[in-house]
Amino acid sequence: MSGPTTGPEAYPEIRDAVRALCAQFPDSYHREVDRERAYPAAFVEALTQAGWLAALIPAEYGGAGLGLAEASVILEEINRAGGNAGACHGQMYNMGTLLRHGSAAQKARWLPAIARGELRLQSMGVTEPGTGTDTTQLRTTAVRRGDRYVVNGQKVWISRVQHSDLMILLARTTPLKAVAKKSEGLSIFMVDLREAVGRGLAVRPIANMVNHETNELFFEDLEIPAEHLIGQEGQGFRYILDGLNAERTLIAAECIGDGRWFVDRVTRYAKERVVFGRPIGQNQGVQFPIAEAHIEVEAADLMRWQACTKFDARAPCGTEANMAKYLAAKASWEAANACLQFHGGFGFAADYDVERKFRETRLYQVAPISTNLILSFVAEHVLGLPRSY
């Protein structure tokens, strides 16, 4: 592969190819999908067929064998082109959990089928209604009975379940009172949704602000074959954290894509829209928030590359992944705000796509981790301030 490997034009061949694919799905396609509250099935299918969603799968299993850096460029370009990678980004970061912690038999069983586009691994079930961000307190249990685990409990906000075949589930296998550290005794499992739904797993969709397929899950004596346990029993929290670093870094890249989309759109509009006999972009009151947004998006991008580089080198990257997600989500949100503001009333018209992208990028201040929790991580784990919880 030629060209730079960090920065706004890194991996030019991937960018060009993803841009060409995205060009077949113009704004009107994404607008219509949003209006219908539908799943962008044709778009996700095209990405799958082109192999982009198997980017992280090693070549020996039929994937492209690329790293998180390249995966981040794919997702960034989707958002930069006006789409929303949230419909399919789950496969990218869930893959890492299977790749890094799955057994040889598990990888051989699932990865080739995912690479061929026959199976989707789009979902990860962590969040619970009763415990929220306080993950180690989660109440869903998986109890070993012979060659099975029996799962009981509830999850909330679990995305893409209706468009996935597989889901990674985090559940408690040893009661909290029986472990030395609260992060111990949690395990991760691969749930085959095709077998589970209707046989111990009920799915209830949640209508929400974004066109994002997300659900409540109810587990009642769901049986999972014991060989679906990923890695060692009790170590699931550690494995999930690895996956969360990938997720935060990839979502940072999506926010960078959003941020550039907003800056491009508002710059173009501010040059064209004439009020009081001159383009609105001639006023510094309009120029400065746009310039500020551009600076912040580009600065956030630098931290995204640090996170990618460390993740791909298997170096600890929690600090960079969290800081990249914080900076990028903040920058894209500020770019969205400037874009909406300077489109005036037209910013609210669905036909301009600004209000749709505005809603989509707003999510990343809350999910997959809220801004406050990132600040708390940096305060306590990077700066060594006293623990607050």
Ligand X SMILES: Cc1cc2nc3c(=O)[nH]c(=O)nc-3n(C[C@H](O)[C@H](O)[C@H](O)COP(=O)(O)OP(=O)(O)OC[C@H]3O[C@@H](n4cnc5c(N)ncnc54)[C@H](O)[C@@H]3O)c2cc1C
CA dihedral (168, 194, 158, 134) in degrees, to 10, reads: -40
Cα separation of 64 and 57, whole Å?
6
> Which one of 127, 140, 235, 322 is in contact with ligand X (CB under 6 A)?
127
* E-assigned strand segments in 22-172: 121-125, 141-145, 148-159, 166-172
Cβ neighbours of residue 2 closer than 8 Å, sequence gap 6 or more = 12, 13
**Residue closest to ligand X (Cβ):** 132
Least CB distance to ligand X at residue 207 (A): 11
Give, as one character, the DSSP assignment of residue 26: -
Least CB distance to ligand X at residue 211 (A): 10
374 binds ligand X (CB under 6 A): no
Q: What tokens were used for 197?
A: 């739904």
67 binds ligand X (CB under 6 A): no
236 binds ligand X (CB under 6 A): no
367 binds ligand X (CB under 6 A): yes
Place of tokens 């170590």: 235
Q: Which is nearer to ligand X, 171 or 280 (CB)?
A: 171
Least CB distance to ligand X at residue 49 (A): 24
Which range binds ligand X by CB under 6 A, 74-82, 319-327, 346-354, 367-375? 367-375
Q: What binding mask, one character per residue, do residues 145-164 give for ligand X by CB under 6 A, x or -? A: ------------xxx-----
- Asked if 185 and 178 touch (Cβ cutoff 8 Å), the reply is yes
Binding residues for ligand X, rule CB under 6 A, total: 22
Please state, in angstroms and as integers, the Cα–Cα distance from residue 130 to each residue in 133, 135, 139, 205, following that order: 10, 10, 8, 18
132 binds ligand X (CB under 6 A): yes
Of 304-363, binders to ligand X (CB under 6 A) are 363
Strand, coil or helix: 149: strand
Q: Which is nearer to ligand X, 26 or 130 (CB)?
A: 130
376 binds ligand X (CB under 6 A): yes
Q: What single string gives the DSSP state of each residue in 292-335?
A: HHHHHHHHHHHHHHHHHHHHHTT---HHHHHHHHHHHHHHHHHH
Least CB distance to ligand X at residue 4 (A): 33
Residue 265: CB atoms within 10 A of its CB come to 21
Cβ neighbours of residue 244 closer than 8 Å, sequence gap 6 or more = 93, 321, 368, 369
Cα separation of 349 and 159, whole Å?
27
Strand partners for 121? 166
**Phi/psi at 216 (nearest 5 deg)?**
-90, 140
Least CB distance to ligand X at residue 376 (A): 6
Q: Which is nearer to ligand X, 166 or 266 (CB)?
A: 166
Least CB distance to ligand X at residue 14 (A): 25
> Which one of 49, 133, 137, 282 is in contact with ligand X (CB under 6 A)?
133
Q: What binding mask, one character per residue, do residues 175-214 give for ligand X by CB under 6 A, x or -? A: ---------------------------------x---x-x
Q: Which is nearer to ligand X, 267 or 365 (CB)?
A: 365
Which range binds ligand X by CB under 6 A, 22-30, 110-118, 121-129, 192-200? 121-129
389 binds ligand X (CB under 6 A): yes
Q: Which residues bind ligand X (CB under 6 A)?
A: 124-127, 132-133, 157-159, 208, 212, 214, 363, 366-370, 372-373, 376, 389
